[in-house]
Amino acid sequence: MSDLERRRELGRFLKDRRARLTPQAVGLPPGERRRTPGLRREEVAQLANISTTWYTWLEQGRGARPSLAVLDALTRALRLGADEHDHLLALCGYTDVLSPEPLAGARVPSAVQTMLDALNPIPAYVINLRYDVLAWNDAQRAFAVDYTRLPAGERNALWLLFHHPAMRQRLLDWDTDADTMVAQFRAITARHVGRPDLIELLARLNSSSEEFRTRWNQHQVRAIAPRVKQCRHPSTGRIDLEAVTTEIIGTPEARLVAFTPADPVSAARLPLLLGRGGLPV
């Protein structure tokens, strides 16, 4: 089942990226009027130097796993970026570097909680592969939401982004943050096709949020990387925070995310989250 779902997702991804290109963009003549947007299958096959039948099978989720050379050729033919190339590799099973199944009962060591507390007033939390919030410090709780008052099923960064009004109020460029987070989650799921915990979360998000569903169907992928969030909080006013993510060795699939100030003004205002002195808002 895992291989079947992976091949189907590969086909959907290739078809989506083919539809985004025009003949002119890849150096081909425009030709006669087209009934559908984008390149034809035979044009992609020509650019990748593979047979049209073989490429058609890939879009249909059929055939054997393509070689690395074929994937490199498709990357060039479809003008894919680095993150999209990595996504292709993942969908074809070349980057399964994490455990195939979630490890039940994973806990955050007490030393990690101590570190989170020491980071105050910098907001920080620990999330797992599916963005469940496992631990946090007081600054993160003050900045985002009080996780202690949430049901366990809603203590998830993706769920809160699309369902909690505080996140829309805090993030000045909510659309960009939502685009980025969904693209990162799609890249993660490609490496773990068929995992029940990811399937369950994806189904809940797709059924409950049209905004999530629209972004998911765009097939964007993005690697996790430092980025600046433009934020506003009732206690601090405008602050710009850079999300820095690190893995926690010894805790499977756990990542610590710290939101460090991106400029001196933001650094001076962060203590106001906890009622400490700082620049006036």
99-137 pLDDT, tens digit per residue, is 334 434 456 888 999 999 999 999 999 999 899 999 999
pTM, rounded to two decimals? 0.70
Residue span of the structural domain in which 24 resides: 2-91
In a shared domain, residues 168 and 236: yes
Is a pLDDT exceeding 60 seen at residue 205? yes
Q: What pLDDT shows up at residue 103?
A: 39
Q: What pLDDT shows up at residue 23?
A: 84
In a shared domain, residues 264 and 171: yes
Q: How far is CA 266 from CA 24, 229, 262, 276, in A?
A: 46, 11, 7, 14
Determine how many CB atoms are found less than 10 A away from the CB of residue 49: 11
In a shared domain, residues 267 and 133: yes
In a shared domain, residues 57 and 167: no
In a shared domain, residues 78 and 121: no
Q: What pLDDT shows up at residue 152?
A: 79
Q: Across residues 8-37, what is the average pLDDT?
A: 83
Query: Measured between alpha carbons, how far apart are the two ends of the chain, in Å?
Result: 55
- Average pLDDT score over the chain: 86
Angular region, 88: left φ>0, alpha ψ -120 to 50, beta rest: alpha
Task: Tell me, rounded to whole angstroms, the distance of Cα 197 from its chain centroid.
Answer: 16
CA proximity to 81, closest of 17, 158, 169, 166: 17
Which of 36, 62, 91 is the last residue in one of the domains? 91
In a shared domain, residues 155 and 218: yes
pLDDT tens by residue, 38-72: 888 999 998 888 899 999 999 998 878 888 888 88
Is 159 strand, coil or helix?
Answer: helix
**Cα–Cα distance for residue pair 194/184, rounded to 1 Å:** 17
Residue 36 lies in a domain: yes
Q: What is the DSSP string of 177-233?
A: HHHHHHHHHHHHHHTTTT-HHHHHHHHHHHHH-HHHHHHHTTT-------EEEEEEE
Q: Which two tokens stand for residue 234?
A: 């009732």
**Cα–Cα distance for residue pair 96/6, rounded to 1 Å:** 12
In a shared domain, residues 219 and 161: yes
Q: How confident is the model at residue 279 (pLDDT cuts 50, 70, 90)?
A: very low
Q: Across residues 222-246, what is the average pLDDT?
A: 91
